[in-house]
Amino acid sequence: MEQKVPGKPSKQVEEVGNWWIKIVAASTKHESLDAARDFGENWASLTAEPGVVDYIETNAGGVPAMWAVPKGCIEDRVILCLHGGGFFSGSMYTHRKLFAHFAKAIGCRALILHYRRSPEHVHPAQVNDTLAAYRWLLDQGIQSNHIAFTGDSAGGGLSITTLLLARDKGLPMPAATMPISAWFDMEATGMSMESNNGKDLLLNREWVKSLADMFLGENGNPRDPYANPLYADLKSLPPVYMHVGGDEVLLDDSLRLAERARKAGVDVSIDIFPGMQHTFQMAAGRAPESDDSISRFVEWVKPKLGLA
């Protein structure tokens, strides 16, 4: 099911767009990758602190990670959370508050990964790290149907490709996955790359291609299904619910993935938020559109985790 969510952007969510403008401007001034990453760590300032949530760093099958544990939550239900940042930036710290909003509203724990980043570590390092963390959760005694995936942008892509790899390795599927503003297409071929060029304040075709090159490395294949699920057989995936902004150049990534998933027999839904920028959910706790998006995800996933 595809649904468009009406509404004019609030002042708070417009700040996300203004922040992306600053990121684009600053990216041309940074002389090092570390400097660009340090600037990106300020993403966390967009998100309100959810409160009554404990944060505990851990090692999830060899992958650095952070538990977000809301007070009084049901601890045997877990959302496995994958941060965005083009695979080269972002961290469990930039996204801890965003995913804590999810966990608090659902009433479960969130495991927020800090997977290896490009260009130091190219594909398949990221999908292998996420799979290792999923295996670790299962080894901890968490049932697969008590786990849901979510992730934004690059993490949204991982929330699909990791399931493909898990399926092909014979692991049980989780209850659901919730990609946010997901980046799937390593070739940047979607029509929205042109139709939303200039509307999207963060990304354009050239930048997406440069990020893909950094992620794939010199010998990487942009049609590898574990990197680009638009070329994958999507059968046997769990239910998928995607949110995407109407002004994103990545809009068509979600639309095409949804179409392919439906043809493969997957239960898939997508909500498009007109006028919204890439990962506008980062303004959680401050912007009504962000909170509405999270509420929709929560309402959808709770029954799948047995929490309704």
The set of catalytic residues is 153, 248, 278
Q: Among residues 51, 19, 48, 23, which one has the least CA distance to residue 36?
A: 23
R_g (Cα) of the chain, nearest Å = 17
Under 8 Å CB-to-CB from 109, ≥6 apart: which residues? 67, 68, 69, 70, 73, 75, 77, 78, 79, 103
Q: Which residues contact 92 (CB under 8 A, 6 or more apart)?
A: 64, 65, 66, 83, 112, 113, 114
What tokens does 127 get?
């999908």
How many beta carbons lie within 10 A of that of residue 101, not counting itself?
25
Residue 246, phi-psi category: left (phi > 0), alpha (psi -120 to 50), beta (remainder): alpha
